[in-house]
Amino acid sequence: MDDIRHAIPSSSERFMPLLRRHMRESGLAYRSEQTYTHWIKRFIHYHKLRHPRDMGVVEVEEFLTYLSVDKFCAINTQKIVLNALVYLYKRYLELSLEGLNFKPARQYRRLPVVYSQSEIQAILVHLNGTHRLLVELMYGAGLRSAELLSLRIKDIDFGSNNIVVRSGKGNKDRTTILPQALIPALRRQIEKVRILHAEDVAAGFGEVYLPDALERKYPRAASEIAWQFLFPSSRVGPCPRTGVIRRHHLHPSALAKHIRHAVKSAGVHKPARAHAFRHSFATHLLESGYDLRTIQELLGHSDISTTEIYTHVVNRGGKGVLSPMDRLPTPLDSGVSEHCPEYRLAG
């Protein structure tokens, strides 16, 4: 239940619990809270556990330069760390960080990992049941793994052929396409969840975690079938926030494990990443002639420049250019041209 906000002791006066409470009062997404606290802890430990109030611009510059020069971090990582430290000093401690001067990380453009359609078919052969459906949805609807695992039954709209993504990256909602080929499997999955939920209710539990204040607003929703996770965990456990025994969704590590096994078994010599299926979704749509704006909306990108990365990996034969190698006459089986002296000697 890593995506559920842990309870913060109301009586604690320690630094990190107070910082976390400030983040929640400021409305930060839980993923941002986790990321910011991680890097703030790293910053404090790097400076031998000195209190942030006793440090300032010099220490922030030193830490950011250390990440760039000694740890070779990516520029996006350095930006995230900078955002975390700016939040710490400007918003929480209300101290200035003006005039920062640090060694910026180098800007490297990394092309995304994309599987071809034949590779995806080969990978799917080595997946079964729920895990196959999970991968098919990532590829068929362009979902991030966290968005996929957070889906609830009510988010599958068979009437409008849409999948509703709630609180995606940036805490934004969006809709994406519902692949027609997956409708029978999704209906079977929903029926499995219905049976499992009935068993949970009979066993004395059956409530699911609800985000924000929905549990107070809709007190009966937690036990309704519509709010159950589409891909529930095989086990129940205590909620880290309330201690209530509940069934959460599948853990992302279980999905990642099956993907690694399937990619290796399929003989695909590319990194085994869940996110690669989302990249493949975008790339194959672009290859099919769909415009960037449409793909941007389906992926939920706030900036189209993020979507434009797929123009660099789309299968257009090197941006439509025919290699001069492909203009050469077809070589003979011997690999020796008939115009060469070696060919005449061989004859």
Q: Which residues contact 242 (CB under 8 A, 6 or more apart)?
A: 7
Say which of 36, 89, 209, 310 is annotated catalytic. 310
Active site residue 169: yes
Question: What 3-state DSSP class applies to 45?
Answer: helix
* C-alpha–C-alpha distance, residues 246 and 159, integer Å: 30
Catalytic choice (169, 251, 260, 273): 169
β-partners of residue 238 are: 245
CA 282 to chain CA mean position, Å: 14
Cβ–Cβ under 8 Å, residues 43 and 61: no
Annotated catalytic, 24?
no
- Number of Cβ atoms within 10 Å of the Cβ of 257: 13
Indicate which residue of 6, 24, 103, 275 is catalytic.
275
Radius of gyration of the chain from its Cα atoms, rounded to whole angstroms: 26
Question: Of residues 20, 126, 131, 144, which has the active-site annotation?
Answer: 144
278 is catalytic: yes
Q: How do strand 174-177 and strand 162-165 relate by DSSP bridges?
A: antiparallel
Catalytic residue among 247, 258, 278, 279: 278
Catalytic residue flag (residue 79): no
Q: Is 4 exposed, middle or buried (0-12, 13-18, 19+ CB in 10 A)?
A: middle
Catalytic residues: 144, 169, 275, 278, 301, 310
